[in-house]
Structure formats: C-alpha cells, structure tokens
C-alpha cells in the first residue's frame, strides 16, 4: 500500500470524524512545548509539511485505505477522503513562528485550521505526522544550548570566528533510522557547520531550497584504520595519516587512544612524529576517546603544550602550536561542555584549542517529553459559531491546554494555505534567524 496521510495516522483517529458535535464545520488546533526548558529553537516544520502535505491521495489510495481500515476494525471516512481527492489539495491553513527563531516554551508554535467546512476532522487527523516536528525542534534546541556554552567561553578566551565549527555531528550511526539522521542532522546544521552526518546536508538541501554545501568535514582516522596496522605499527598508522593528508593549512584528526593515550600523546606525537607535524604545515587534531572527558582533555592539552608549545592570545589564554584536540565521547548536553571548558580555561588554555563531536547525545537521547510537546484542539466552529475547547485535568494541571484561536498571534506568520506555501524558507534564511 502506498503510504500517505490516508493511512498515516494513529488508528483511533479513524473514528473521530463521527465524534465531533453535530454541525461541526471547522476545528482549530495548536502545537506547543509545555516545558522541559525555558526556551527552544523552532525548526523543521517546512520539512514536515513537504513530507506529508505535498502528496494528495488518489482514488485508488482511498480504496486501498478503506479495505485496510475495515480489516483493522475501524470505520473510515470514505466520502470525506474522496472529497479531498476531488479537491486535489489538503484544505488547511497553517501558521507558525519563524523557522530558526528562539522563543519561550509554553507558547503557541503552530496553529492549524481547516479552510473548508466539510473537513473539521482533518486538522486532528494530521496530528500524528505534524507533531513529529518535536524531533527537529528538540535537536536544534539542544544543540543551540550547547552552542551558547561554547560561545561564552570563546568570547572570554578565544576567537569567535571559530564558533561555527566547534561542534561536529558524529551521530549518523547512532540514530534509529535514515529519516532521523536526515531530520536531526539538518537540525544540527542550523547551529553549526561541521558534520559527518551526510543525511542532514541532503535533507537540508532538499527541503530548504538550496544547492549550497551546508556542512563540512576533514580527513579523520577511526579505530579500525589505526588498529589495522597492529599495536606495533601504531606509529606507522599515525605517520601514514601525516603522509596522506597533512598539507599546509590542512586539518587532520587522528584518534589516539587505541592502546595507550598517554604514550601516544607524549611519545609518538610529542617526540617521534613531532618534527613531521611541524614541517607539514597542517594542524593535527588529536582525539582522546576514553576516560573522564574533562580530565582527559586537560591532560592531553597540557602534554601537547609541553611538546609543541603555545602562544598567548590577546585575551591572555594559551593557544597550542601545530596541534588541537577534539573530544567526541561522553557528551550528552550543555552541562558536559560547561564542565570541560571550565576546567580547560581554568588552567589557562583558550577554548580555541578544543572542538567537540557529539553523536547519540544530540540525535538519539531526546524524546517528545524532553520539551513536553503536544497538539491540542483549542476552538471549534459549530453551526456558524466559534467556541473554545480545552482540557484541564484535575490530577495533572500542568497538562491544561489553551483555549481560543491564535490567528492574530503576532509571533505567528502564514506558512501554508490550501495546498501551497505562503512562506517558504531557504536554509540560509533559517540560519540567519538562528544567528539573530
């Protein structure tokens, strides 16, 4: 069966068209984050709309769906869906805050309403897919908060020009699906420009109207390419990295904890290969990948300072010569960045010396409850009159929903109407909004 909105909803929604009051004409729903943080970065709606509202079902799709829902044990609004087939578009209007904007939680982020009185059940039907914006919003928000920590330490100790490349996406293999890699990797790219999650670049190009290269990477070793040389060949593995990739101005990352990080840093990088590193004109990025992050980063930087030396920048912090460090393990949120950078800069080293890699911590260790996302009915038009609709559970007052229509909310702009985008963003526009 072809998958589109005629079957892409929670099962119980199939009977909801029979549950609204007699004379129901229109419904108004909204999406909000009910908490979990004080603020969030809104991103991903345009991609979700393109995934779910561009593909209007055909008559054959509806026939197949009718058989499916009957076998599944539910009534199906056959006539209603056939009317949508005849229309050739989804009769909806959608308003939302700007993509890339940072806004407070507990505010309306998206408002949805049907534009044709025959389809009061349709806004609720699309909730299942539309509410999946929780994922790119939550990822972009988490990465934004990490960025604020890094930014604060760079402002104090280093060069702000390096900020876009201070956090690199390592999360491709750590997510549940290719779709998650695309949507989450794209959300990371709103804030940073370094990534190994190629799916994020491809999704951003597809859904946000650009052919530009939006993310960048460098040659980097992994444990398999180092250990393939054998323990006795560790120095040869590192030397091969220098021979193949270390050119003037280049960045080359080498994971260095396959056997003994202390020996690799002090003896191999610090002595045996030091002159080749210096002569190459490249910056070698040493990657410690085991141990307590704040301790291991400082230990590595201190040892590299002993071997390669450093210069004092204009802010009074040391910047290593010829080498840098990237920490790509044990990072799950802004508090981890804070701990590492506090220790590093407290020892007199600039944040310029360090970059970060984040994998499952950004793309997989989130869920809908991280920012408490919900989509709720707030108004219904019955026999020509609008009236409020809301819930207020006595046993969970924090779940109380909003009432009324939000068409006049000054923070919401028209995004979609009757099958067409009213406001369509490029990815560059999203980044511009985020940087504001």
- pLDDT tens for each residue of 45-97: 999 999 999 999 999 999 999 999 999 999 999 999 999 999 999 999 999 99
The number of beta carbons lying within 10 Å of the beta carbon of residue 271 is 10
Q: Tokens standing for 171? A: 């999360």
- How far apart (Å, rounded) are the C-alpha atoms in residues 130 and 375? 9
Q: How much is the pLDDT for 40? A: 98
Check the CA dihedral 328-334-339-342 and report its sign. Answer: positive
In the predicted model, is pLDDT for residue 1 greater than 90?
no
Q: Which residues of 190-208 are buried (b: 16+ CB within 10 A; e: fewer)?
A: bbbbbbbbebbbbbbbebb
**How many residues can be counted in the chain?**
436
Q: Tokens standing for 143? A: 């990465």
CA 349 distance to own-chain centroid: 30
- How far apart (Å, rounded) are the C-alpha atoms in residues 35 and 106? 6
- How far apart (Å, rounded) are the C-alpha atoms in residues 153 and 409? 36
Closest to 388 in 3D by CA, of 407, 402, 374: 402
| Residues 281/319, Cβ–Cβ less than 8 Å | no
Whole-number Cα distances in Å, 262 to 184, 308, 319: 35, 15, 20
Q: Which residues pair with 349 in a beta bridge?
A: 318
Average pLDDT over residues 427-435: 97
How does strand 283-287 pair with strand 251-255?
A: parallel
Q: Which residues pair with 221 in a beta bridge?
A: none
Residue 430 phi, psi (nearest 5): -60, -45
CA 388 distance to own-chain centroid: 34
The answer to pTM > 0.85 is yes
Closest to 10 in 3D by CA, of 124, 126, 128: 128
CA 45 distance to own-chain centroid: 12
CA 383 distance to own-chain centroid: 43
Check the CA dihedral 388-389-394-396 and report its sign. Answer: negative
Domain architecture of the chain: domains with CATH: 11-137+367-435 (3.20.140.10), 138-363 (3.20.20.70)
In the predicted model, is pLDDT for residue 398 greater than 90?
no
User: What are 118-169's pLDDT values in tens digits?
Assistant: 999 999 999 999 999 999 999 999 999 999 999 999 999 999 999 999 999 9
Closest to 28 in 3D by CA, of 432, 378, 386, 357: 378
User: What are 211-269's pLDDT values in tens digits?
Assistant: 999 999 999 999 999 999 999 999 999 999 999 999 999 999 999 999 999 999 999 99
């Amino acid at each position: 069966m072809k998958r589109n909105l005629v079957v892409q909803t929670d099962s119980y929604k199939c009977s909801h068209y029979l549950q609204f009051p007699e004379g129901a004409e229109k419904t108004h729903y909204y999406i909000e984050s009910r908490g979990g943080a004080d603020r969030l970065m809104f991103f991903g709606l345009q991609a979700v709309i393109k995934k779910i509202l561009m593909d209007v079902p055909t008559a054959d799709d509806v026939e197949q769906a009718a058989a499916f829902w009957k076998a599944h044990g539910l009534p199906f609004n056959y006539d209603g869906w056939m009317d949508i087939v005849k229309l050739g578009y989804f009769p909806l209007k959608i308003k939302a805050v700007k993509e890339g904007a940072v806004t407070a939680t507990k505010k309306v982020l998206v408002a949805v309403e049907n534009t044709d009185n025959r389809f009061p059940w349709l806004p609720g039907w699309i909730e299942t897919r539309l509410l999946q914006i929780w994922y790119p919003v939550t990822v972009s928000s988490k990465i934004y908060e990490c960025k604020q920590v890094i930014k604060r330490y760079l402002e104090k100790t280093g060069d702000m020009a390096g900020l876009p490349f201070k956090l690199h996406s390592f999360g491709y293999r750590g997510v549940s699906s290719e779709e998650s890699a695309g949507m989450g990797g794209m959300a990371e790219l709103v804030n940073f420009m370094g990534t190994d999650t190629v799916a994020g670049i491809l999704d951003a190009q597809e859904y946000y109207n650009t052919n530009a290269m939006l993310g960048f990477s460098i040659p980097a070793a992994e444990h398999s390419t180092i250990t393939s040389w054998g323990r006795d060949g560790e120095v040869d593995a590192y030397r091969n990295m220098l021979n193949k990739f270390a050119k003037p101005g280049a960045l080359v990352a080498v994971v260095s904890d396959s056997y003994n990080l202390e020996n690799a840093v002090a003896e191999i990088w610090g002595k045996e290969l030091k002159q080749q590193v210096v002569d190459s004109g490249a910056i070698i990025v040493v990657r410690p990948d085991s141990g307590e992050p704040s301790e291991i980063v400082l230990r590595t930087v201190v040892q590299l300072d002993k071997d390669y030396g450093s210069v004092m920048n204009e802010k009074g912090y040391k910047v290593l010569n010829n080498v840098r460090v990237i920490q790509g393990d044990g990072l799950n949120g802004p508090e981890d960045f804070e701990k590492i950078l506090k220790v590093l800069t407290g020892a007199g080293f600039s944040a310029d010396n360090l970059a970060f890699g984040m994998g499952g911590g950004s793309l997989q260790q989130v869920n809908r409850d991280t920012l408490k996302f919900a989509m709720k009915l707030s108004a219904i038009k019955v026999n020509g009159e609008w009236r409020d609709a809301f819930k207020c559970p006595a046993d969970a007052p924090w779940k109380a929903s909003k009432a009324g229509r939000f068409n006049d909310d000054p923070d919401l702009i028209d995004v979609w109407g009757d099958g067409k985008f009213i406001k369509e963003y490029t990815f560059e526009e999203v980044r511009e909004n985020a940087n504001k």
